Structure 1
Amino acid sequence: MARRLLPVGLDFVETAPLRLVFAREVSASPDAVYRALAEDVAGWPQWFSAVTSARPLDDGARREVRLKGGTRFVETIVAAEPGEVYAYRVDETNAPGMRALLEEWRITPTIGGARVQWTFAADGAAPFRVGLRAGRSGLGRAFRDAVAALERRLASTPA
């Protein structure tokens, strides 16, 4: 059953009742990371193992993402600044307990490549918040594994 979530803006990254932030440095350039996140949406399952399918909608203004286990998200892009930030909010999902969810991928140049920071900003019913806090280490591991796989993918792809 699809549930509509609150149409939060980018400021939700700072104001969300629950914020999980993870970061990792990669040897890829900020532009290459951004292209993989924002322009190669269909390629997400190749490096983010939790994602089974991802496809852009409405000429890239929205996306549909499916995860292992059957969770489905319809998302709206709220920030797309090449080489810097890519963020989207979830408008519709079949996952229970959520009221609002926004994910921000911030990319910062480093001497050897880029620092990738993922902020998972959420609000929901108490059981959802408790579950998300309890699952923090698993989300962190999924992020680290995904970014490591993305780094390997970008290293093997000609520029």
Structure 2
Amino acid sequence: MTRGSRSRALRPVGLGFADTAPVLLVFSARMAAPPADVHRALAEEVEAWPRWFRAVTLARQVERAGRRGREIRLVGLARFTETVVAVEPAARYAYRVDVTNMPGPRALLEDWRLAPAGGGTLLEWRIAVDVPAVWKPVFRLVRPVLGHAFRDSVRALDRRLAAV
């Protein structure tokens, strides 16, 4: 995916989109940290994301119109303004992208699901996207890159949580 220079609004979607999107990328990994610690790192310590998710260069929580949201910047100057749509302690953290400078997506939701697993956590990251048909092959091509970034980030987060 290449970045665009102009920001544009995406279609708002709800949690159900994580299961029904035209393009759905799903990644999962086991972590040693318990679900409550992983959830806290995802949902409450947003500003710390760049310390463990290398693709993230800036992350901050914001509130707009009484709703919790996030501002995110990625390597390559991609920008996202998001609305948090689910915060279920030790179980789920999800947000939709409202505005981005990335070309392609018409709607985008990221859904982090957590489950206890052998004293640790099974973490699943769902990226749900609606894109024009010409963009679908691009998402197939970037899937391995996103999977690698996810695995590296999960390992870094697990090390960070173990050190606390």
TM-score if structure 2 supplies the norm length?
A: 0.93
Provide the secondary structure at the position in 2 that maps to 1:20: strand
* 1:87 CA drift (Å): 0.2
More moved, 119-128 vs 71-80: 119-128
**Which one of 37, 40, 55 corresponds to residue 35 of structure 1?**
40
Provide the secondary structure at the position in 2 that maps to 1:117: strand
**Which residues in structure 2 correspond to 1:6-155 (within 5 Å)?**
6-58=11-63, 61-155=68-162
1:36-62 deviation line (CA, Å, top 9, x unaligned): 000000000000000000000018700
Provide the secondary structure at the position in 2 that maps to 1:135: helix
Q: How many residues align?
A: 157
In 1: Cα distance, 2:128 partner to 2:83 partner: 15
* 1:142 CA drift (Å): 0.5
Provide the secondary structure at the position in 1 that maps to 2:106: strand
Please tell me the residue identity of whatever aligns with 1:151: D
Provide the secondary structure at the position in 2 that maps to 1:96: coil
Provide the secondary structure at the position in 2 that maps to 1:142: helix
Which ranges in structure 2 are unaligned for 5 or more consecutive residues?
1-5
In 2: Cα distance, 1:146 partner to 1:6 partner: 28
Task: Tell me the equivalent position of 2:3.
Answer: none
Please tell me the residue identity of whatever aligns with 1:22: F
In 2: Cα distance, 1:60 partner to 1:81 partner: 16
Which ranges in structure 1 are unaligned for 5 or more consecutive residues?
none
In 2: Cα distance, 1:127 partner to 1:4 partner: 19
Identity fraction in percent: 53
1:50-76 deviation line (CA, Å, top 9, x unaligned): 000000001870000000000000000
